[in-house]
Structure 1
Amino acid sequence: MANNKSAKKRILISKRNNLKNRFYKSSVRTLTKKFLKDLEIYKSSKNNSDRERAQIVLNSIYSLIDKGSKKNVYHKNTAARKKAKLATLLKTAI
């Protein structure tokens, strides 16, 4: 247990940052699963509307990853790697 004021403050800050980080990471994981599901639908149907739906989800994933990277949830190389992997998946689904 923390005994001085600065240690107690660090515990509170740590809890706050933990919630922020968990929001970004879980949201990116959830949207990635949705993107992969939409990608499978597009692969089977080859319909342009399905591709557009996957592209919309991909754009929202990019947005969350970029915001998380700006707030130091993700390292910049990790963010770039995640974005590149998802873009490659969409590109090879053609």
Structure 2
Amino acid sequence: MANTPQSKKRARQNERRFAVNKARRSRIRTFLRRVEEAITSGDKDAAQNALRAAQPELMRGVTKGVYHKNTAARKMSRLSARIKTLG
């Protein structure tokens, strides 16, 4: 348990940051799920639109420190490759 005032404050900050990051990660997953659903339904236009909507969210997650840059790049690359094969 935190004893010093500084460690108590850090614990409070960590709780707040955890909640914010959790919400952001959930929001990003929702956007990615929409892309996945569009891909499985076979609708290329809907999948492309969903990917366009998901891309800024994913990149925002990178700048906020929720995801690593390469993780986001890999997700975008794999999704766009799957959309490309829909034809």
Q: Same fold by TM-score, threshold 0.5 exceeded? A: yes
Tell me what 1:26 maps to: 26
Cα distance, 1:51 vs structure 2:
2.6
For residues 16 and 32 of structure 1, the distance between their equivalents in structure 2, rounded to whole angstroms, comes to 25
Percent identity between matched residues is: 34
1:72 is matched by which residue type in structure 2? G
Cα distance, 1:34 vs structure 2:
1.8
Cα distance, 1:53 vs structure 2:
2.1
1:92 is matched by which residue type in structure 2? T
For residues 60 and 86 of structure 1, the distance between their equivalents in structure 2, rounded to whole angstroms, comes to 13
For residues 16 and 45 of structure 2, the distance between their equivalents in structure 1, rounded to whole angstroms, comes to 36
Is 1:52–2:50 an aligned residue pair? Answer: no
**Unmatched segments (≥5 aa) in structure 2:** none
**Unmatched segments (≥5 aa) in structure 1:** 44-49
CA contact (8 A) 2:44 2:86 kept: no
2:70 is matched by which residue type in structure 1? N
Q: What value does the CA root-mean-square deviation take over the aligned residues?
A: 1.4
Per-residue CA deviation, residues 11-61 of structure 1 (Å, 9 max, x unaligned), is 1111121112212221222222221111222x2xxxxxx432222211121
Tell me what 1:89 maps to: 82
TM-score (norm 1): 0.81
**Matched positions, count:** 87
Tell me what 1:74 maps to: 67
The runs of 4+ residues in structure 1 deviating greater than 6 Å are none
Cα distance, 1:74 vs structure 2:
0.9
Cα distance, 1:64 vs structure 2:
0.9
CA contact (8 A) 1:24 1:65 kept: no
Tell me what 2:35 maps to: 35
Indicate the SS of the match to 1:2. coil
